[in-house]
Structure 1
Amino acid sequence: MSTSALLSALRVGGRQKISASSFGARAQATGSHVFRIHRFTQVREKVANGAAIQSGTFGVGGHDWRVKCYPNGNAEEDRGCISLFLQNASHAKTGDAMAGYKLSILDKSWKPSRTRSTDEHHFMGRGWGWDKFMKLEELDKEKHLQDDCLSVLCDVTVDTGLRTEDYTDEVAAAEELTKAPPPFPVHGIAEAIWNRQEPDVKIEVGDGQTLAAHRWVLEAGSPVFKADLALAPNDTVAELRVGDMDADVCKALLRFMYTNSPPPELESMAGRLLVAADRYELEQLKLACEEALCKNIDTSSVTAALALAERHGCTVLRKAGMRFLSSPGNLDVVLASSDGLEKLKTSCPSALLELLDKKRPLNEQLISTRV
């Protein structure tokens, strides 16, 4: 049982102010360092096989570390390769260290191009790494040696021992969520879920409001929410920030995920909710929004509807908009507006091209507009 679940169970028994701590979790410290070797081609020509160049030291987890690079290999059998190692440079002062590490050669966009890693090693005075990290013939001047500079990234995670964890912040978050009401009227299955299990996710929306939800509901309903929550530990209250969504849309989104039904006010927010449904890959909700928008297509809204369909891949909505514009009378009204043609050209060019093939009058108007 997670600590948050334990606290929730104890709180049900009438205990309102609860603190908690636990001993046994291993503490870790992480850090990164970039070692850049300028004029690498010249360096490789001058540094012999078995000779190393080394980075400056950098501190992580109470120890000083350095990267060692052998441009022509660490030993005779490593000729033709780059050898890379990580060394506990402060071993004489700070002693042994348990650490995992990752070494990467970066490309010109500063992304790892070749990476090797290991979970944990016992570092004493000697270094750990790879004799044949990368063949020299695999180094590309354009990809790896921009301005003849080789960049090596080192990520280190040091085990700093057992620690006592204080759950004060988690308790506060759990208490806040316990008091939070459901973000929509609950009944049936949704009510049963809410009454049986306390929410364990806080969602902060763009207008500053915070909504409560259950992690397993979000993960089961949306692969995007599942990916967002993957980084949050399972035994803590997860916090999500959705800055481009207002509270009403987020409540409608959550309502659908719990009840599989759109909100009663769907027509008034269908456009905004469609954008959210597309982002979180809720295809059924997205289709419901499309159908609601189709019912209200007129000469003032058809261009916006087609633009929305084009941006978010809405087949049903696009077909409805094209059917509406296929009527000569409707098309004439749209084109007669001051910016009707310009909106079609800029917001939904594929729809315009399709209309060009079908409507000669529109084609003639375009020609006269260009002239």
Structure 2
Amino acid sequence: MSGSAFHEFKIHYSETENFAVGDSVTSDFISAGGHLWIVHCYPRGMLEDDLEHVSINLELLSPCSTINTIFQVFLLGKDGVPSFSHEQKSVDVFSTEACIGGWDQFLERSVIESIYLSNGWVTFPCNIIVLGADTIAVPPSNIGRDFGLLLDGKVGMDVSLIVKGETIQAHRAILAARSPV
């Protein structure tokens, strides 16, 4: 099933000053494409290498086989206007084996604190798009049979060759593709 959801993930950033690496703030439950999701924000990063960055992850909570998604996160400026300067977008395949996607180093903390922090709050608008199963049925490849029907039939023949007094109908595109002349 396909579908999407938009969620404004607001974090009281100043209350995360004493967070350790790996501590997170979690969004409310988000329903998109018939599945349940949550967003995790790690203000001090997920791992020691991420300490100077904010990490953001999308987690699938619903059991599933395979789900193709597009996950987009951007920020609201101090004036409340969306800013796409530091937007991140990922295309992920979620399954029971891989139920988390996102970024270990979404954005440097110093950038968030100087540009996006407003009265102690930072807002990460998140867009989750769940792509359904392939919507275009792809027919099996029968190109040999199809070319045979094309050559046997007279439809679309646009060239006449006269060889030893006999007229032979042909397709200009096939002659061009197959002839060195």
TM-score by length of 2: 0.66
Which residue does 1:51 correspond to in 2? 23
The equivalent residue for 2:122 is: 150
Q: Which has the higher contact order (CA 8 A, sep 6+)?
A: 2
For residue 161 of structure 1, report the CA deviation from its aligned partner: 1.7
Q: Give yes or no for the alignment of 1:111 onto 2:85.
A: no
Quote the offset at 1:160 in angstroms.
2.0
Unpaired stretches in structure 1, ≥5 consecutive residues: 1-26, 165-371
Pair 1:134 & 2:104 matched: no
Q: How far is the alpha carbon of 1:63 from its aligned partner? A: 0.5
Unaligned runs of 5+ in 2: 137-181
1:145 and 1:123 mapped to 2: Cα distance? 35
Aligned-partner SS, 2:116: coil
Q: Which has the higher strand share?
A: 2
CA RMSD in angstroms, aligned pairs only: 2.1
Which of 70, 80, 86 is the equivalent residue of 1:100? 70
Aligned with 1:65 (options 19, 33, 37): 37
**Superposition pairs of residues 132-281 of structure 1, within 5 angstroms:** 132-141=105-114, 143-162=115-134
Deviations 1:159-210 (A, max 9, x none): 222459xxxxxxxxxxxxxxxxxxxxxxxxxxxxxxxxxxxxxxxxxxxxxx
1:77 and 1:34 map into 2 onto residues whose CA distance is: 27
- Higher-Rg member (1/2): 1
Change in Cα spacing, 1:135 to 1:163, as seen in structure 2 (3 Å) is closer
Q: Which amino acid aligns with 1:99?
A: T
Give the % identical residues: 24
Closer, same or farther: CA 77–145 of 1 in aligned 2, 3 Å: same
- Determine helix, strand or coil for the equivalent of 1:137: helix
Q: How many corresponding residue pairs?
A: 133
Partner Cα separation in structure 1 for residue 50 and residue 127 of structure 2: 24
In 1, the alpha carbon distance for the partners of 2:52 and 2:99 equals: 23
CA contact (8 A) 2:6 2:125 kept: yes
Q: Determine if contact 1:57/1:89 at 8 Å carries over to the other structure.
A: no
Are 2:43 and 2:55, in contact at CA under 8 Å, matched by a contact in 1?
Answer: yes
Q: Which AA in structure 1 matches 2:99?
A: R
Instruction: Name the TM-score, length of structure 1 as normaliser.
Output: 0.34
